[in-house]
Chains A and B, each alone.
Chain A
Amino acid sequence: MELTFYIASAIAVLSTIMVITRYNMVHALIYLIISFLAIAIVLFVLGAPFIAALEVIIYAGAIVVLIIFVIMMLNLRDETVEQERSWLTKDIFIFPAILSAILLAEVIYIISLGEHTMLDQPSIDSSAVGMSLYGPYVIGVELCGILLMSGIVGAYHLGRQKKKIVHRFLEHAEQ
Chain B
Amino acid sequence: MKAIPVEAGLILAGVLFMLGLISVLIRRNIIFMLISVEIMLNAAGLAFIVAGARWGQPDGQVMFIFILTMAAAEVSVGLALILQLYHQLQTLDGDAANKMKG
A-B contact count (CB 8 A): 229
Task: Please pick, from A42, A50, A76, A92, the residue contacting B12 in the complex, using a CB distance under 8 A.
Answer: A42
Within 8 A of B (CB), among A48-96: 48, 50-51, 54-55, 58-59, 62-63, 66-67, 70-71, 73-74, 76, 80, 84, 87-88, 92-93, 96
Docked-complex contact A16 and B39, CB < 8 angstroms: yes
Residue of B nearest to A114 (CB): B7
Docked-complex contact A67 and B52, CB < 8 angstroms: no
Q: How many residues of B contact A (CB 8 A)?
A: 71
How many angstroms between the C-alpha atoms of A80 and B27 in the bound complex?
13
Docked-complex contact B16 and A13, CB < 8 angstroms: yes
How many angstroms between the C-alpha atoms of A31 and B81 in the bound complex?
24
How many angstroms between the C-alpha atoms of A5 and B62 in the bound complex?
22
Given known A19-B35, A119-B4, A132-B62, contact A161–B69 (CB-CB < 8 A): no
Docked-complex contact A111 and B7, CB < 8 angstroms: yes
B-chain residues with CB within 8 Å of residue A19 when the two chains form the complex:
19, 23, 35, 39
Docked-complex contact B31 and A25, CB < 8 angstroms: yes
Contact with B along A115-159 (1 / 0, CB 8 A): 011111110100011011100010010001001101110111011
Given known A25-B32, A39-B46, contact A122–B56 (CB-CB < 8 A): yes
Residue of B nearest to A99 (CB): B25
Docked-complex contact B42 and A132, CB < 8 angstroms: no
How many angstroms between the C-alpha atoms of A118 and B60 in the bound complex?
17
Docked-complex contact A66 and B26, CB < 8 angstroms: no
Given known A118-B3, A129-B61, A147-B69, contact A46–B80 (CB-CB < 8 A): no
Q: Does B100 contact A (CB under 8 A)?
A: no
How many angstroms between the C-alpha atoms of A107 and B55 in the bound complex?
21
Within 8 A of A (CB), among B1-35: 1-12, 14-16, 18-23, 25-29, 31-32, 34-35
Q: Does A20 contact B (CB under 8 A)?
A: yes
Given known A19-B35, A20-B36, contact A84–B4 (CB-CB < 8 A): no
Docked-complex contact B75 and A129, CB < 8 angstroms: no
How many angstroms between the C-alpha atoms of A28 and B19 in the bound complex?
14
Task: Please pick, from B23, B29, B50, B62, the residue contacting A119 in the complex, using a CB distance under 8 A.
Answer: B50
Given known A111-B10, A132-B58, A140-B62, contact A47–B16 (CB-CB < 8 A): no
Given known A13-B12, A59-B38, contact A67–B31 (CB-CB < 8 A): yes
Docked-complex contact A59 and B31, CB < 8 angstroms: no
How many angstroms between the C-alpha atoms of A62 and B52 in the bound complex?
25
